[in-house]
Amino acid sequence: MDAPERPEGHPSAGPTADGRRPAAIVSHVDIIYRVYGAGRAHEVEEDESNLFARLFSRTTPQVGVREVHAVKDASFVAYQGESVGLIGRNGSGKSTLLRAIAGLIPPDRGQIYLDGRAALLGVNAVLMRKLSGARNVMIGGQALGLSKQEVRERFADIVEFSGIGSFIDLPMESYSSGMAARLRFAISTAAVPDILVVDEALGTGDADFRKRAQDRITQIRRDAGTVFMVSHNNNTIKSMCDRALWMEHGHLIMDGPSGEVVDAYAEWVARRRRANRRGGPTPPGQGPA
Ligand SMILES: Nc1ncnc2c1ncn2[C@@H]1O[C@H](COP(=O)(O)OP(=O)(O)OP(=O)(O)O)[C@@H](O)[C@H]1O
């Protein structure tokens, strides 16, 4: 099979003229979810011959399949050492784009090129509530690609960072949600990936833990890693990211220094609220489009 076409600035092309090295290239990416069984009642009850014709038709969409176009023609380049925040309203496509960068969802169109390994912060899928925190450290660490020996070497650090103390020997189902979130964060960042993808993990925990989480992310960036994060907290994005991407209805509508993008987004949200209170739409020409 032919190698995919490499856009300008592909990681293998080396650093740019200003010395920055691309870590992730997202080129014209579209992501479409297909939700099955989403048909209307009368479609489900249609007669069998009609159903047969539909199943074998190339042109008519199948019964009950609904498409959600979550990301539309998104393109950007992120550089090593950069921390990029994604902001936007609920359902605007932020998590979907992050999951695609982490390699969990294949784009329907376009390409994503990464220089190194990307990992989504969060080992939720593999952790087991009925097992002790200690057993879960071993399971989660290995899920991140560490060997048993490597997890053992980092065990004390992970437990110390989580602040779980002697609870580490109890089943995770006995933890408060904050304790579980802290342990998950500690496990997830035990193996430092080249590209760390953080989806809303920083809203959990108390102020002290948030500070330590922030320090750890800063350290990952210092080790030449790149961080992507989604947050609904504008202050988190401003303080932890140097750049922000604003998504609306699957489109990437603004890309720039985090302070500028967050302020523009906050202003737009406030204007929308005012317009909604007055019962009218957002004034034309002042929306994000
Ligand atoms: N697994 C899925 N199957 C079908 N549709 C999905 C799925 N996950 C997300 N969607 C849809 O894709 C769109 C984008 O969702 P996504 O979770 O990426 O948005 P988001 O900006 O991260 O939202 P939020 O801020 O609420 O987390 C939404 O319309 C959502 O309903």
CATH assignment at residue 181? 3.40.50.300
Which residues form the domain of 188? 124-233
Are the CB atoms for 118 and 194 separated by under 8 Å? yes
Q: Is the pLDDT of residue 254 over 80?
A: yes
Confidence of residue 93 (pLDDT cuts 50, 70, 90): very high
Q: Is residue 288 part of a domain?
A: no
Distance of CA 127 from the midpoint of ligand 1 (Å): 23
Confidence of residue 271 (pLDDT cuts 50, 70, 90): very high
Measured at the CA of 100, the angle between CA 96 and CA 102, to 5 degrees, comes to 115
Q: Is residue 187 part of a domain?
A: yes
Question: What are the tokens at 247?
Answer: 């998504």
Query: Rounded distance, CA 79 to CA 22, Å?
Result: 4
Higher pLDDT, 221 or 78: 78
Q: Atom of ligand 1 at shortest distance to CA of 93?
A: 18
Q: Is the pLDDT of residue 131 over 80?
A: yes
- The confidence score (pLDDT) of residue 193 equals 77
Distance of CA 231 from the midpoint of ligand 1 (Å): 14
Probe residue for ligand 1, chosen from 35, 90, 94, 96 as the CB with the greatest number of ligand atoms within 8 Å: 96
The mean pLDDT of the chain is 81
Q: Is the pLDDT of residue 46 over 50?
A: no
Count of domains for the chain: 1
Q: Atom of ligand 1 at shortest distance to CA of 96?
A: 18
Q: Is residue 245 part of a domain?
A: no
Task: Assess whether the C-beta atom of 88 lies below 6 angstroms from ligand 1.
Answer: yes
Distance of CA 24 from the midpoint of ligand 1 (Å): 22
Question: What are the tokens at 168?
Answer: 């580490």
Task: Assess whether the C-beta atom of 238 lies below 6 angstroms from ligand 1.
Answer: no
Q: Is residue 84 part of a domain?
A: no
Confidence of residue 4 (pLDDT cuts 50, 70, 90): very low
Probe residue for ligand 1, chosen from 31, 69, 94 as the CB with the greatest number of ligand atoms within 8 Å: 94
> Which whole number is the average pLDDT over 193-222?
74
Distance of CA 252 from the midpoint of ligand 1 (Å): 15
Protein residue with least CA distance to atom 6, ligand 1 = 33
Q: Is residue 143 part of a domain?
A: yes
Protein residue with least CA distance to atom 2, ligand 1 = 33
Q: Is the pLDDT of residue 47 over 60?
A: no
Q: Is residue 46 part of a domain?
A: no
- The confidence score (pLDDT) of residue 145 equals 75
Are the CB atoms for 54 and 63 separated by under 8 Å? yes
Confidence of residue 43 (pLDDT cuts 50, 70, 90): very low
Instruction: Tell me the range of 16-25, 61-70, 100-109, 258-267 where mean pLDDT is highest.
Output: 258-267
> Which whole number is the average pLDDT over 128-142?
90
Protein residue with least CA distance to atom 16, ligand 1 = 93
Q: Is residue 285 part of a domain?
A: no
Task: Assess whether the C-beta atom of 52 lies below 6 angstroms from ligand 1.
Answer: no
Distance of CA 91 from the midpoint of ligand 1 (Å): 5
Contacts of 223 (CB under 8 A, 6+ apart): 192
Probe residue for ligand 1, chosen from 31, 34, 90 as the CB with the greatest number of ligand atoms within 8 Å: 90
At 228 the three-state DSSP class reads strand
The arrangement of strands across the sheet holding 226-230 comes to: 118-120, 195-199, 226-230, 83-88, 243-248, 251-257
Q: Is residue 279 part of a domain?
A: no
